[in-house]
Amino acid sequence: MNQLKPSLILGGLICLGMIIAGWILANSALKIKQYERIVSVKGLSEREVKADVAVWPIRFSSANQDLTQLYDTMETHTQQIQAFLKSEGFTAEEITTAAPGTTDKYAQQYGGDANVALRYTAHQTITVYTHKIDAVRGAQSRLVVLGKKGIAFGGDDSGQRTEYLFTKLNEIKPAMIEQATQNARSVAEKFAADSKSGLGKIKSANQGLFSIEDRDSNTPYLKKVRVVSTVDYYLAD
């Protein structure tokens, strides 16, 4: 009987300890659960900007039965296009002239020269790389002047499309991120108010990726820059 009492006391203490430990754990878990109440919101920032770089490929072609005459024609057309571009305000450094490519249709036709009016064809591309966006647009509208001189622009491929680029993203990034974060906080504050809670500190934030797209298909020189930030806030009673 004397040995039983210490065992009962020890067992009671163990049970009491387990009860207390369970209460502490449950109370801690409840507090953690309350503290982990969060709201996840997204903040949007958009800006319309103008492209600052234009890449304008000017492709032209010609055909002739005589190869020497064909090269003479292409050289003349090249000089005319270069002179036109310089008259439009572009410098020699902004103009790149590729070597002409020629095709012998006799070599491509099975059976020799049947149904081939002009044996040789040539194509060439002059590319303008510039920051003068308005100058490019103006010059494109006046390119018809060269067409009237007998220069055939275009070709069988789609390499004529002018590419407009926006390269100053780093200059507007900080302000856009700030705006997106502020928008996210406004949404979170509205949610907290509607749920009768208080808005706490930021738990985590994800900046998101910046995207640059044409504003529309008719004005590719105008760009839409967009970023979406995701922010998680703690909620408090």
Q: How far is CA 231 from CA 41, 63, 170, 224, 226, in A?
A: 6, 62, 22, 23, 17
Tell me the mean pLDDT in the region 14-40.
Answer: 55
Q: The pTM is what? A: 0.76
Question: CA 78, CA 62: separation in Å to the nearest integer?
Answer: 11
Can you tell me whether residue 68 is helix, strand or coil?
A: helix
Question: CA 84, CA 82: separation in Å to the nearest integer?
Answer: 5
Q: Which residues of 38-77 are buried (b: 16+ CB within 10 A; e: fewer)?
A: ebebebebeeebebbebebbbbbbbbbeeeeebbebbeeb
pLDDT at residue 125 in the model: 95
Q: Give Cα 75 distance to the centre of its chain.
A: 38
Question: CA 28, CA 21: separation in Å to the nearest integer?
Answer: 10
pLDDT confidence of 52, banded at 50, 70, 90?
Answer: very high
Highest mean pLDDT pick, 32-36, 37-41, 96-100: 96-100
Q: Which residue has the higher pLDDT, 201 or 86?
A: 86
Question: Over pLDDT 70: what percentage of the chain?
Answer: 79
- 25 pLDDT above the threshold of 80: no
Query: Could you write out the DSSP letters of every residue in 154-205?
Result: --SSSTT--EEE---HHHHHHHHHHHHHHHHHHHHHHHHHHTT-EEEEEEEE
Question: CA 206, CA 134: separation in Å to the nearest integer?
Answer: 37
Q: What is the pLDDT of residues 214-225, one digit of tens each?
A: 999 999 999 999
Alpha helices in 36-160 (DSSP H): 67-87, 105-108, 133-141, 144-147
Q: What is the pLDDT of residues 120-172, one digit of tens each?
A: 999 999 999 999 999 999 999 999 999 999 999 985 454 578 999 999 999 99
